[in-house]
Structure 1
Amino acid sequence: MGTLLLLLALGALLCSAAVGEARGARSCAETRQALSSRGFALGSVPPTLISGEHLRICPQDYTCCASETEERLSEQGQADLQALLGETGAFLTSTLGSRQRRFQDFFEELLAGAERSLQAMFARSYGRLYTQHAHLFQGLFVELQHHLKGVRPDLDEALSDFWSQLLERMLPLLNPQYSFPEGYLECVGHQVESLHAFGDSPRRLRVQ
């Protein structure tokens, strides 16, 4: 910001030189000194006031600004503005990245807490029956973690697989008097939503 202000001050100085002509001051010594401190070659700055009718940015009456000076000032202004925007953009990127990481950590903690709560509740309610099939639920949470990290953008297939596998395991357990061929169980598993085996739970889980 300080650089931009200095460039504005230099522009004002170029204008003041033109005003000074009315008082008989035709020298550009002050302007040459200021621009020289900014790295301008003195050969690019006229020693006395010149007509600025050919200029695009500097004053178009009498001025200490030549075409080369004007071009150099324009380039420096653009470079300084880009640097300033780059610093601001880097700060915003850093801030947003930090907040995203905090959100990510927060949701990962929520997910881990949900998995622990489910395991504890199902272990108490179903005991050995749950522990024998706990890997199904653990696999679901792995898929949810992958989704949270962006590894699996679409969860529909993973959720469908979960309900299908769950139905394939539950059908023999709920009907021990029957023997179900593996192909039959697989076929039934693919029809889990049309059979409404778990009510509205698959749809609600997908939405959530």
Structure 2
Amino acid sequence: MTCCTLAMEHMLNTHSKAELDSILKVSITDLHNIFESRAQKFDEFFTELLKTSKRDFHQMFLQTYGLLYEQNSYLFVEMFAELEAYYAKGGIDLSASLDRFFRKLYQKMFQVLNTQYTFDEKYLHCISDHMEALKPFGDVPKKLTIEVKRSFVATRTFVRALFEGRDIVKKLMEILPTNDCGDEFMRMTYCAHCKGLTNLKPCLGYCLNVFKSCLFKQSQVNKEWSNYVDALLLLITRLETSFNIESVVDPIDIKISEAIMNFQEN
């Protein structure tokens, strides 16, 4: 059943479909842009945080340990490189990475404090194999490994999740309204115009039913999207408290220096 002349209905149909496309595009584009900007900002923030920590670490250790640090700085450069690589691409076992770092540091410190002796690789591997029992660095390696792993995993997951959200929204933008949807939207919006009732608005129930029909495909992801948002909010809460990467990365120079002092005191 038409609400106007065929010519008028055709014109209104074309206009209303363009209007509906615009409404949906603007709404979804805004959401896409929010995810895009937030993901980029957080990514830039965490990347810069690592760079700053690495720079501060170098300055602090150079000032504190001087030539000794310069001669062995590659150990710490490798450690930061692995942290940066994990954040950028994943695929690195952070626990194993930090274990290797502290083993190498133990071997190097053992040599530095016993320069009157020469140790072969077999001997150095032997002493590092007993690190867990001897705890030359105290509890620092264990605590730092736990803190680094949970904060880096949570941070990387959060940023990746924002980019995934952006991509999902982008795919939703590609779903176009059906012809039936356009017809229903036209009837709801413009039928009253043909009777001269240009200020008459559709009732809420009618409007909701039309959009429920129009957005049927998009609504199929409602449950998954709600779960996704809930998971993001939970992750944000963790990142603000126990998984806060700033509280781990900022003082990493102090914590590793503490480990070295523990070794010197033992």
TM-score of the alignment, normalized to the shorter chain, above 0.5: yes
Which is bigger in relative contact order (C-alpha 8 A, separation at least 6)? 2
Please state if 1:119 is matched with 2:61: no
Unaligned runs of 5+ in 1: 1-10, 15-29, 41-75
Please state if 1:36 is matched with 2:6: no
Please state if 1:161 is matched with 2:135: no
Number of residue pairs matched by the alignment: 146
Q: Cα offset for 1:180?
A: 2.2
For 1:106, the aligned partner's letter is F
Q: Cα offset for 1:38?
A: 4.9
Q: Cα offset for 1:153?
A: 5.2
Q: Cα offset for 1:87?
A: 4.9
Higher CA-based Rg: 1
Residue 185 of structure 1 is matched in structure 2 by 124
Structure ranking higher in helix proportion: 2
Distance of aligned partners of 1:88 and 1:123 in 2 relative to their CA distance in 1, 3 Å threshold:
same
TM-score by length of 2: 0.47
Q: Cα offset for 1:81?
A: 6.5
Unaligned runs of 5+ in 2: 149-266
Residue 262 of structure 2 is matched in structure 1 by none
Residue 201 of structure 1 is matched in structure 2 by 140
Alpha-carbon separation, structure 1, partners of 2:37 and 2:92: 22
For 1:134, the aligned partner's letter is S
Residue 143 of structure 1 is matched in structure 2 by 82
TM-score by length of 1: 0.58
Please state if 1:107 is matched with 2:56: no
Q: Once superposed, what is the RMSD of the aligned Cα atoms?
A: 3.0
Q: Cα offset for 1:83?
A: 7.5
Q: Cα offset for 1:80?
A: 8.2
Q: Do the aligned residues in 2 keep the contact of 1:193 with 1:202 (CA within 8 Å)? A: no
Pairing 1:91-106 to 2, within 5 Å after superposition: 91-106=30-45
For 1:160, the aligned partner's letter is D
> How many percent identity over aligned positions?
33
For 1:32, the aligned partner's letter is L
Q: Deviation per CA, 1:110-163: give whole Å up to 9, x if none.
A: 222221222112112211111000011011111111122233454112111111
Alpha-carbon separation, structure 2, partners of 1:113 and 1:192: 30
For 1:107, the aligned partner's letter is F
SS at match of 1:92: helix
Please state if 1:88 is matched with 2:20: no
Alpha-carbon separation, structure 2, partners of 1:171 and 1:149: 33
Alpha-carbon separation, structure 2, partners of 1:82 and 1:167: 64
SS at match of 2:62: helix
For 1:142, the aligned partner's letter is A
Alpha-carbon separation, structure 1, partners of 2:20 and 2:127: 65
Alpha-carbon separation, structure 2, partners of 1:166 and 1:192: 11
Moved more, 131-140 or 98-107: 98-107
